[in-house]
C-alpha cells in the first residue's frame, strides 16, 4: 500500500488551503449531498451567468480526499462554460471509475489528475466524487430555474 | 500483568488462520471485532462437516439427512439457550441478525396495535410511550421510531452524560406510567459503555413496561444470563461472537412469545392453513417463517462451544485488561480525545476517539497502510456522534485473539498519521 500515491502533495495542499470555500450569493441552484457510510457532507451552490459558471461556493465536512476534491473542482469549473464544466465532470468521473488504469489528462483535468491514485481505493472513490455529485445536482437545479428567472 | 488473564492468547490465535494474513508486507492487526469478529477453524469446520455430511431441509423430510439436519438445528437452539441461561430452548428464536430480531419485536407491537384482540401488552396508540437511549445503534432506534410514527405512540430517550454514561438520574422522569416498552443497548458499540440494567428494569416493573436489551455487543464479550438480567427480550447477532453471518437470536420469555403476533409469515410457521385463514404454530416456529439459516445455526453453536471452552469470565478478564491498556496508551497520543468512558470500568474493549485536525477516514487509511484494521465513521450511531459534536470517529475494538503488541502497533501507526497530516 503506497500512501504517497494516495495522499499526493497537491491533495494535501488543497485540503489544508481549500479554494473557493464558503457559501455565497447569488446562486440559482443548491445541492446537499451526504455520504451515508461515513457521514461526510457538502452543501454546494452554483451561479450560472449566461452560458458560464459564474460561481461555485460550498461548505463541507469530510476527509482530506473529499475536501481536496471539492477545492480542485472549484478551480476547474469556476468561470468555465457550462459545457466545459460538464465535460470535466464526466472526465473526472471516468478517472475515478478507472480502478487505477488511467492517469488522467493533465491538459484538461489539471490538479485533478492527482486523484488518479484514489481510483485504486474503492472505499475512497465516493469521497472524491461527493463534491462533483453536488455540483452536477446543483447545476441541474440552476438550469431548471433559469427560464423562469426575471432578474437575468 | 498478563498473568491475571487465563486466556492462552497464542493458542487462541492459532485457531484463526486469517490473523496470519499479510496486508502489504505487514501482518494484519485486526482491531475491528465490534463490526464483525473473525471465525475460528472450529466454526468453519462444523459448518463444512454439516454441509458435506448432513445437509437437508429441516422438519420436512422423513429421510435420514432430514432427521440429522433437524437434530443439528434444534440442537443448536438448545446449545444457545444454555449459553445465555434461558430456561427453555423454545425461548430462542433464530433470525438473520440483531437487526431482524429487534424488528421482529417492534413488528409484534405494530401488528398487535392493528388487532383489537391482541394481548394489551403489545397494543400501542397515542398516549403510549416507547423509551430508548441516546447511545443506540440505529438497529435499536429506527425500528422504534417507525413504530412510534405508525401507531401514534411517543418515542422518548435517556440521555448520555459527558463521561459517556447513561444519565440514570433521569430514569424516573423519562420512564413514566405511559411507557409500554423500553429497549436499550447493553454495551454501546460506539462509546464502549457497559450499561447497568438494574435501575431500568426496576423502574420498568414499577410502571408495568416490558424491557428489551440490545445485547449485540455484550453476549460476545461478557457472561450473559437472561434470568439474572431480569429483562423480557434480548437480541444478539452471530457474526460478532465468532460465528457466521446470516444468523442472529431473539430471546424472549415463553409467555411473551406466546402473546406476540408473528412478524414474517409463510411456510414452517403455521398450524393449519385454509383459503380463508391460518392458525400459527407455537413459538419459536411461529417466528421462523421459511427455510432458516441451518448451517449458520450449526456454526453459531460451534462458536458458543468455543467461547464456553475459553470461559466467558476469562474472555471478560482478557478484554478488561486490553481495554485498560488501550486507554492508557491512547492517552499518550498527541491530540487524541477518547469519545466515551476514559476508565476501564463499566466499559468494553471498544474505544472510539478523534485525532485533532485529521478526519477519521484519513486515520483509517493510514492505519490500513500499517496493516492495522479499525473502523471509521459514525458506527451506525449518528445521534451519539451528534451528542459528542463529532461527525465520525475512529474506533479500535479488541476480542479474544488480540494482544498488547497489536495495541502498540495501533499507537505507533497513529504517530504515522501525524507525519502524513502534520
Ligand atoms: C449495539 C449493536 N446493535 C445492533 C447491531 C446490528 O447487528 P447486525 O448488523 O448484525 O444486525 C450492532 C452491530 O453493528 C451493534 O453493535
**What is the C-alpha to C-alpha distance for residues B247 and B105, in angstroms, rounded to an integer?**
16
> Under 8 Å CB-to-CB from B305, ≥6 apart: which residues?
B42, B79
Question: Does residue B417 sit within a domain?
Answer: yes
- Which percentage of chain A shows pLDDT scores above 90? 79
Query: In degrees rounded to 5, what are phi and psi of residue A2?
Result: -105, 105
Question: End-to-end distance of chain B based on CA atoms, in angstroms?
Answer: 35
Last residue of a domain, one of B256, B281, B308: B308
In chain A, where the domains are located: 3-144
> How far, in Å, from the CA of B104 to the mean position of ligand 1?
14
Instruction: Please check the confidence at residue A151 and state whether its pLDDT lies above 90.
Output: no
Instruction: Please check the confidence at residue A150 and state whether its pLDDT lies above 60.
Output: no
Which residue in chain A has the smallest CA separation from B22?
A1
> Is the minimum CB–CB distance between B352 and chain A shorter than 8 Å?
no
CB under 8 A, 24+ apart: contacts of B20-26: B22/B371, B23/A1, B23/B368, B23/B371, B23/B373, B24/A1, B24/B369, B24/B371, B26/B370, B26/B371
Q: Which CATH number is A3-144 given?
A: 3.90.1010.10
**Model-level pTM greater than 0.90?**
yes
Instruction: Give the ipTM.
Output: 0.85
Is residue B363 a contact partner of residue B376, using CB atoms and an 8 Å limit?
yes
Average model confidence (pLDDT) for chain B?
96
Pairing type for strands B393-397 and B375-377 reads antiparallel
> How far, in Å, from the CA of B73 to the mean position of ligand 1?
23
Question: Does residue B4 sit within a domain?
Answer: no
What is the helix (H) or strand (E) element at residue A25, kind and residue range?
A: none
Number of folded domains that form chain B: 2
CB–CB of B420 and A7 under 8 A? Answer: yes
| Chain A hits for B361, Cβ within 8 Å | 38, 40, 62-66, 124, 127
| Chain A hits for B390, Cβ within 8 Å | none
Instruction: Please check the confidence at residue B236 and state whether its pLDDT lies above 90.
Output: yes
**What is the C-alpha to C-alpha distance for residues A151 and A145, in angstroms, rounded to an integer?**
12
The CA-CA-CA angle for residues B229, B233, B235, to 5°, reads 100
Active-site residue B385, yes or no?
Answer: no
| Chain A hits for B420, Cβ within 8 Å | 3, 7, 12
Q: Answer yes or no: do B342 and B274 share one domain.
A: no
Is residue B185 a contact partner of residue B140, using CB atoms and an 8 Å limit?
yes
What are the Cα distances from residue A53, in Å, to A45, A69, A142? 11, 18, 10
CB–CB of B362 and A63 under 8 A? Answer: yes
Instruction: Please check the confidence at residue B49 and state whether its pLDDT lies above 60.
Output: yes
User: Domain containing B99: what range?
Assistant: 45-308
CB burial of residue A102 (10 Å; 0-12, 13-18, 19+): middle
Among B124, B286, B121, B288, CA closest to B211: B121
Bridge partners of residue A43, in order along the sequence: A32, A59
Is residue B281 a contact partner of residue B261, using CB atoms and an 8 Å limit?
no
Q: Answer yes or no: do B185 and B117 share one domain.
A: yes
- Residue B57: the pLDDT is 95
Helix, strand or coil, per DSSP, at residue B222: coil
**What is the C-alpha to C-alpha distance for residues A82 and A139, in angstroms, rounded to an integer?**
9
Q: Answer yes or no: do B185 and B84 share one domain.
A: yes
Give residue-wise pLDDT tens across range B122-177.
999 999 999 999 999 999 999 999 999 999 999 999 999 999 999 999 999 999 99
**What is the C-alpha to C-alpha distance for residues B284 and B106, in angstroms, rounded to an integer?**
17
> How far, in Å, from the CA of B66 to the mean position of ligand 1?
32
> Could you tell me the CATH number of the domain that includes residue B279?
3.40.640.10
Q: Answer yes or no: do B175 and B87 share one domain.
A: yes
Last residue of a domain, one of B276, B292, B308: B308
Handedness of CA B44, B50, B52, B55 (dihedral sign): negative
Q: Answer yes or no: do B332 and B277 share one domain.
A: no
Q: pLDDT grade, residue B61 (50/70/90)?
A: confident
| Residue with the larger pLDDT of the pair A95 and A1 | A95
Q: Is the CB of B97 under 6 A from ligand 1?
A: yes
Bridge partners of residue B155, in order along the sequence: B130
Last residue of a domain, one of B308, B341, B361: B308
Is residue B27 a contact partner of residue B369, using CB atoms and an 8 Å limit?
no
Rg of chain A in Å (alpha carbons): 15
Contacting B residues, span 16-35, partner chain A, CB-CB under 8 Å: 23-24
Q: Answer yes or no: do B59 and B207 share one domain.
A: yes
Amino acid at each position: 500500500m503506497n500512501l504517497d500515491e494516495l495522499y499526493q502533495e497537491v491533495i494535501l495542499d488543497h485540503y489544508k488551503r481549500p479554494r473557493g470555500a464558503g457559501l455565497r450569493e447569488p446562486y440559482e441552484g443548491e445541492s446537499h449531498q451526504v455520504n451515508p457510510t461515513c457521514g461526510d457532507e457538502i452543501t454546494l451552490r452554483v451561479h450560472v451567468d449566461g452560458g458560464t459558471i459564474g460561481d461555485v461556493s460550498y461548505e463541507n465536512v469530510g476527509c482530506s480526499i473529499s475536501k481536496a476534491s471539492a477545492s480542485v473542482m472549484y478551480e476547474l469549473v469556476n468561470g468555465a462554460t457550462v459545457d466545459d464544466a460538464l465535460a470535466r465532470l464526466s472526465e473526472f468521473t471516468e478517472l475515478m471509475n478507472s480502478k487505477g488504469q488511467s492517469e488522467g489528462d493533465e491538459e484538461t483535468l489539471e490538479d485533478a489528475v492527482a486523484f488518479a491514485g484514489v481510483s485504486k481505493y474503492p472505499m475512497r472513490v465516493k469521497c472524491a466524487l461527493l463534491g462533483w455529485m453536488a455540483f452536477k445536482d446543483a447545476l441541474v437545479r440552476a438550469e431548471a430555474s433559469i427560464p423562469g428567472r426575471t432578474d437575468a | 500483568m498478563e498473568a491475571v488473564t487465563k486466556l492462552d492468547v497464542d493458542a487462541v490465535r492459532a485457531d484463526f488462520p486469517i490473523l496470519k494474513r499479510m496486508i502489504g508486507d505487514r501482518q494484519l492487526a485486526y482491531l475491528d471485532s465490534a463490526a464483525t469478529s473473525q471465525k475460528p477453524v472450529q466454526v468453519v469446520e462444523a459448518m463444512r462437516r454439516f454441509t458435506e455430511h448432513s445437509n437437508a431441509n429441516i422438519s420436512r423430510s422423513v429421510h435420514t439427512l432430514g432427521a440429522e439436519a433437524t437434530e443439528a438445528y434444534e440442537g443448536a437452539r438448545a446449545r444457545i439457550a444454555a449459553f445465555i441461561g434461558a430456561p427453555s430452548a423454545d425461548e430462542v428464536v433464530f433470525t438473520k441478525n440483531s437487526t431482524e430480531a429487534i424488528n421482529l419485536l417492534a413488528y409484534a407491537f405494530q401488528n398487535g396495535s392493528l388487532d383489537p384482540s391482541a394481548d394489551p401488552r403489545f397494543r400501542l396508540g397515542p398516549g403510549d410511550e416507547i423509551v430508548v437511549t441516546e447511545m443506540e445503534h440505529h438497529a435499536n432506534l429506527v425500528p422504534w421510531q417507525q413504530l412510534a410514527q405508525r401507531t401514534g405512540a411517543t418515542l422518548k430517550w435517556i440521555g448520555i452524560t459527558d463521561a459517556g454514561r447513561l444519565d440514570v438520574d433521569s430514569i424516573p422522569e423519562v420512564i413514566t406510567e405511559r411507557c409500554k416498552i423500553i429497549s436499550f443497548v447493553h454495551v454501546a458499540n460506539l462509546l464502549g459503555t457497559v450499561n447497568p440494567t438494574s435501575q431500568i428494569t426496576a423502574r420498568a416493573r414499577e410502571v408495568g413496561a416490558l424491557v428489551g436489551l440490545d445485547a449485540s455487543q455484550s453476549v460476545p464479550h461478557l457472561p450473559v444470563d437472561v434470568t439474572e438480567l431480569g429483562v423480557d427480550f434480548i437480541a444478539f447477532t452471530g457474526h460478532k461472537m465468532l460465528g457466521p453471518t446470516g444468523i442472529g437470536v431473539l430471546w424472549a420469555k415463553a409467555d411473551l412469545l406466546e402473546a406476540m403476533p408473528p412478524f414474517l409469515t409463510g411456510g414452517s410457521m403455521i398450524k393449519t392453513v385454509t383459503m380463508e385463514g391460518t392458525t400459527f404454530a407455537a413459538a419459536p416456529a411461529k417466528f421462523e417463517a421459511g427455510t432458516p439459516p441451518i448451517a449458520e445455526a450449526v456454526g453459531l453453536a460451534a462458536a458458543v462451544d468455543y467461547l464456553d471452552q475459553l470461559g466467558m469470565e476469562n474472555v471478560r478478564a482478557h478484554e478488561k485488561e486490553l481495554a485498560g491498556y488501550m486507554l492508557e496508551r491512547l492517552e499518550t497520543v498527541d491530540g487524541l480525545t477518547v469519545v466515551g468512558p476514559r476508565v476501564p470500568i463499566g466499559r468494553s474493549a471498544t474505544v472510539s476517539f478523534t485525532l485533532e485536525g485529521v478526519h477519521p477516514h484519513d486515520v483509517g487509511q493510514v492505519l490500513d497502510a500499517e496493516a492495522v484494521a479499525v473502523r471509521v465513521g459514525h458506527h451506525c450511531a449518528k445521534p451519539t456522534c451528534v451528542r459528542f459534536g463529532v461527525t465520525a470517529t475512529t474506533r479500535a475494538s479488541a476480542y479474544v485473539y488480540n494482544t498488547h503488541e497489536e495495541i502498540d502497533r495501533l499507537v505507533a501507526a497513529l504517530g504515522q498519521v501525524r507525519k502524513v497530516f502534520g
